[in-house]
């Protein structure tokens, strides 16, 4: 069996520090995947000697990319429904097999895109003829040879021009087919592509460094530009107005992504304060890929053709639903599943007001992402890819996947924060150790110049030393208190 070689983080940690709490190691939840969503990724991993976790997460990202807006998971009337688009981010060094994994997982999607291209090629003669006919009609209206009333003439001109614009951006060249994939594009180019695609796109790249650079303002003096990416996850209307260019307006953007990049590149995005404060990191399912040390064997193996065919068939079933002009296929969570989601949500809320308060920005979308993952599991496990319900078991497994990815993300963030927070931790230790009861209110610490956010980061990073508790005073007013856990030493 091939051996996993742990990737080393760019930020090496000095574990000889006796106060360092350590990075929580968690095992990837392989048992959360069943059916073809388990069989195909395992086969790809075994045949190509690549990390199974990368294959599993790429597979669920591929399902999400295929789904688009054709499915919707509903968690009761109070919370409405959600599309199933995910933002999957994989950090992996060279030689981890990013390209071969993506090639295997996305092959049926690329074939679907090729069919779109081929169908468009066949339509070119008809589109050209329609364009010439519409241009002639427009010219006729402009010359005034039409005897209709002025208001009627204006309405007809607007109608004809609209039809021309659908076919050609400049009345010369034809618009291409609706895009399905988009690679390393700027937010502006992605917005144009989303508009042309009717609001649904799949951003996939095995080397997504340029995507991150563009989002972080590489070609802009305005700094970070996460707006479209944020709205593409949540479906909020997006509009872009640029001088000298046509306005871009997307009523309900739905963007899915599978991004892979080197750890140093991914780190710049994850540790970006704006990415955290604006909610980008909260929308990401993150894992760290691992390098495989291959066995010394010359035995040739290949993916079982039946497994490969089952994967292609599953993607084709989903895409066939996507092509039909209808309302999204709705899936409802069972009552037991809804209760489990509510419990997960409440747990996260308590955690983000306690030991995990420093990760409040990263954990704010936990339930929504779990709903989407559960919906994708239900689709993958359904015989006809059209389940009506999402059950408790699928919901529990989805939550396990989300918890794993969020723990990995928090570990990565914690890694980058430890060195910078070490000095601040020492200051807080001294303040609390000087107190008789080894505690102080957050309000009083604020008056002394300590920022709440920095305190929360220290607590989250060194949660074996500090804790934040909420108490009620004599007048019923709640108070947050920073407390030194016992024992605590320098």
pLDDT, tens digit, 9 for 90 and up, residues 310-332: 999 999 999 998 877 678 999 99
pLDDT at 12 over 50: no
Residue 74 included in any domain: no
Map residue 280 onto helix, strand or coil: coil
**Residue 352 is encoded by which pair of tokens?**
């983000």
Closest CA to 65 of 90, 41, 40, 85: 85
* Contact (CB, 8 A) for 450 and 436: no
pLDDT in tens, 80-122: 689 999 999 999 998 899 999 999 999 999 999 988 888 888 8
The pLDDT, as a whole number, for residue 142 is 82
Q: Is 42 a member of any domain?
A: no
- Note whether residue 284 is domain-resident: no
Long-range contact pairs involving 115-124 (C-beta distance under 8 Å, separation at least 24)? 116/177, 116/178, 116/180, 117/177, 119/177, 120/176, 120/177, 124/174
**pLDDT, tens digit (0-9, with 9 covering 90-100), for 384-402:** 999 999 999 999 999 999 9
Q: Is residue 472 part of a domain?
A: yes
309 CB-side CA count, 13 A: 3
What is the chain's percent helix, strand, coil content, to nearest 5? 50, 15, 35
Weakest mean pLDDT among 30-34, 98-102, 145-149, 429-433: 145-149
Which pLDDT belongs to residue 409? 94
Q: What mean pLDDT do residues 337-349 have?
A: 95
Of residues 158 and 186, more confidently modeled: 158
Return d(Cα 179, Cα 37) in angstroms, integer.
26
What is the rounded distance in angstroms from the CA atom of residue 405 to the CA atom of residue 409?
Answer: 6
Task: Please indicate, yes or no, if residue 157 is contained in any of the structural domains.
Answer: no
User: Rounded to 5 degrees, what are φ and ψ at 478?
Assistant: -75, 150
Higher pLDDT, 274 or 233: 233
477: containing domain: 421-484
> What's the alpha-carbon Rg for the chain, to the nearest Å?
26
Given a cut of 90, whether residue 196 has pLDDT beyond it is: no
- pLDDT (average), residues 193-213: 89
Ranking 61-75, 234-248, 344-358 by mean pLDDT, the lowest is: 234-248
Q: Is the pTM of this model over 0.75?
A: yes
pLDDT over threshold 90, residue 218: no
Instruction: Give the C-alpha separation, 415 to 286, whole Å.
Output: 15
312 is a domain residue: no
Token pair 């607590």 is at which residue? 459
Question: What is the residue-averaged pLDDT of the chain?
Answer: 85
Nearest Cα residue to 248 out of 344, 155, 137, 169: 169
Position 237 in a domain: no
Position 399 in a domain: no
pLDDT classification of 487: cutoffs 50, 70, 90? low
User: Which of 59-63, 371-375, 465-469 has the lowest average pLDDT?
Assistant: 465-469
Q: Number of structural domains, the chain?
A: 1
Beta bridge partners of 88: 258, 285
């Amino acid at each position: 069996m091939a051996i996993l070689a742990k990737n080393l983080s760019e930020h090496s940690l000095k574990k000889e520090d006796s106060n360092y709490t350590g990075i929580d190691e968690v095992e990837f939840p392989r048992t959360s995947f069943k059916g073809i969503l388990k069989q195909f990724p395992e086969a790809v991993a075994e045949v190509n000697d690549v990390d199974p976790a990368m294959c599993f997460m790429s597979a669920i990202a591929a399902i999400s990319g295929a789904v688009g807006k054709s499915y919707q998971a509903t968690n009761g009337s109070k919370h409405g429904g959600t599309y199933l688009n995910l933002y999957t981010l994989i950090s992996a060094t060279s030689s981890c097999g990013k390209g071969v994994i993506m090639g295997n997982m996305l092959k049926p999607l690329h074939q679907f895109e090729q069919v779109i291209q081929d169908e468009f090629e066949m339509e070119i003669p008809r589109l050209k003829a329609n364009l010439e006919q519409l241009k002639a009609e427009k010219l006729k209206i402009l010359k005034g040879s039409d005897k209709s009333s002025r208001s009627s003439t204006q309405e007809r001109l607007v109608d004809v021009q609209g039809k021309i614009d659908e076919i050609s951006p400049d009345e010369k060249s034809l618009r291409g087919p609706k895009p399905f994939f988009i690679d390393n594009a700027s937010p502006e180019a992605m917005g144009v592509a989303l508009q042309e695609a009717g609001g649904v796109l799949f951003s996939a790249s095995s080397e997504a460094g340029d995507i991150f650079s563009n989002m972080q303002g590489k070609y802009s003096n305005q700094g970070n530009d996460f707006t479209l990416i944020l709205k593409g996850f949540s479906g909020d209307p997006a509009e872009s107005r640029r001088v000298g260019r046509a306005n871009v307006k997307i009523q309900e953007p739905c963007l899915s992504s599978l991004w892979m990049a080197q750890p140093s590149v991914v780190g710049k995005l994850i540790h970006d304060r704006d990415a955290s404060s604006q909610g980008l990191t909260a929308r990401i399912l993150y894992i760290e890929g691992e390098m495989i040390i291959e066995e010394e064997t010359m035995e040739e193996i290949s993916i079982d053709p039946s497994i490969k065919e089952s994967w292609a068939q599953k993607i084709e079933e989903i895409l066939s639903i996507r092509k039909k002009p209808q309302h999204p296929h709705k899936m409802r969570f069972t009552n037991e599943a809804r209760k489990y989601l509510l419990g997960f949500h409440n747990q996260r809320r308590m955690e983000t007001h306690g030991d995990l308060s420093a990760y409040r920005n990263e954990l704010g979308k936990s339930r929504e992402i779990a709903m989407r993952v559960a919906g994708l599991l239900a689709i993958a496990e359904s015989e006809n890819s059209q389940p009506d319900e999402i059950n408790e078991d699928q919901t529990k497994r989805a939550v396990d996947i989300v918890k794993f990815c969020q723990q990995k993300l928090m570990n990565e963030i914690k890694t980058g924060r430890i060195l910078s927070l070490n000095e601040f931790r020492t200051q807080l230790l001294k303040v609390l150790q000087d107190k008789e009861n080894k505690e102080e209110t957050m309000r009083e610490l604020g008056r002394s110049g300590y920022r709440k956010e920095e305190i929360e980061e220290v607590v989250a990073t060194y949660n074996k030393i500090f804790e934040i508790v909420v108490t009620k005073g004599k007048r019923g007013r709640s108070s947050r208190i920073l407390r030194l856990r016992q024992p605590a030493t320098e």
